Structure formats: C-alpha cells, structure tokens
Amino acid sequence: MFESMAHWLVKTEPTVFSFDDLWNAPKRTSTWDGVRNFQARNFLRDAMKVGDAVLVYHSSVEPMAIAGVAEVVRAGYPDPTQFDRKNHHYDPKAKPETPTWFQVDLRAVKKLKRPVTLAEMKNVPELSGMMLLQRGVRLSVQPVSPEHFRWIVAAGF
C-alpha cells in the first residue's frame, strides 16, 4: 500500500489561499476546488488517492516556493463551484448529472521550516526533470517523482 502512494504538486496563489490557510483550517483540511484545466482535472478525478502526498507550491508571489506538505484525505468528487452561478469558477456548461470539474480534499501535514524556493530548485541538477521546472508547463496539479519529493522535503526540513 505504502509503495503505491503517489506524489503530487499543487499550485496556489497564497493571496487567494495559502498553505497557512490550509494549516489553520478546521482539521487542517480544505477542499481543493476551482481547478479548470482538463489535464489537472483528470489527475484530481482519476489518479489522486487517499493517502497520497502533495507538495503545496506558492505561485505569483515573492518568493515562489514549496511551502508545505499535505495529504489527500478525500479522493476526487465533483466540484460544487461549477454549479454555483455566483462563484467565480461557475461553468454554465457543467451539469450535475455529468459534472465536468472535480476536487479533492487536502489536509496539511507538514509546514516546511524553510520554504524551498523556485530559484533554489532551478539550481539543483537532481530536480531538473521536475515538471514544475519545465518551460511552459503551467499545470496546477501535477505528479512528482518520489525522489524529487524526498529531496524537497529534506531541503525544507
């Protein structure tokens, strides 16, 4: 079971929702909603499983960095914001019978003592294959190899 645990990275703009917000949420848990990209949706819907480990990355902020580690506590289920007309993420084409967008629930597990910055990661040869660091890749939910995951957690400890 443990060996099949997958590793992920999710991006968030901390001005909207930060790792600290997750850390301070009831039970340190929150839904991870609002993803509106099909490839990311597929990971949320089909691939992320309870117990999977997740790096939480802060984008569009100084410094851009991995802020902490979370775990999946509920696997993919329909994102209700797609049906909410008043929500910024409302999708008029989505139908409750056949939801388009999915979310998971995440629980904060570990706050890195030292955020691991994008600038730092770019200079680490071992991380050069990370999807996050590839030119033009802007997936907000992406898989991470166990090696890359371990390197980052160790660097931030």
Q: Residue 105: what residue type?
A: D
First to last CA, the chain: 25
Site residues (CB under 7 A) for DNA, limited to 82-101? none
Does 118 help bind DNA (rule: CB under 7 A)? yes
Distances (CA, A) of 61 to 9, 32, 40, 71, 142: 17, 19, 21, 23, 19
If one asks whether residue 131 binds DNA (CB under 7 A), the answer comes out as no
Among 36, 74, 107, 111, binds DNA (CB under 7 A): 36
Measured from the CB of residue 74, what is the shortest distance to DNA in angstroms?
Answer: 23
Beta strands in 42-148 (DSSP E): 53-58, 65-78, 102-117, 141-143
Question: Which residue number, 63 or 146, has a Cβ lying nearer to DNA?
Answer: 63
Cα gap 89→85, rounded to integer Å: 8
**Residue 153 near residue 69, CB atoms below 8 Å:** yes
Using CB under 7 A as the binding rule, whether residue 128 contacts DNA is answered as no
Closest contact distance (angstroms) between CB of 4 and DNA is 27
Closest CB 27 distance from DNA, rounded Å:
26
Residue 125 CB burial class (10 angstroms; 0-12, 13-18, ≥19): exposed
| Binding range to DNA, per CB under 7 A, among 31-39, 43-51, 102-110, 148-156 | 31-39
Give the footprint of DNA on residues 37-76 (CB under 7 A): 37-39, 59-60, 64
Q: Which residues of this chain interact with DNA, rule CB under 7 A?
A: 11, 36-39, 59-60, 64, 118-119, 122, 135-140
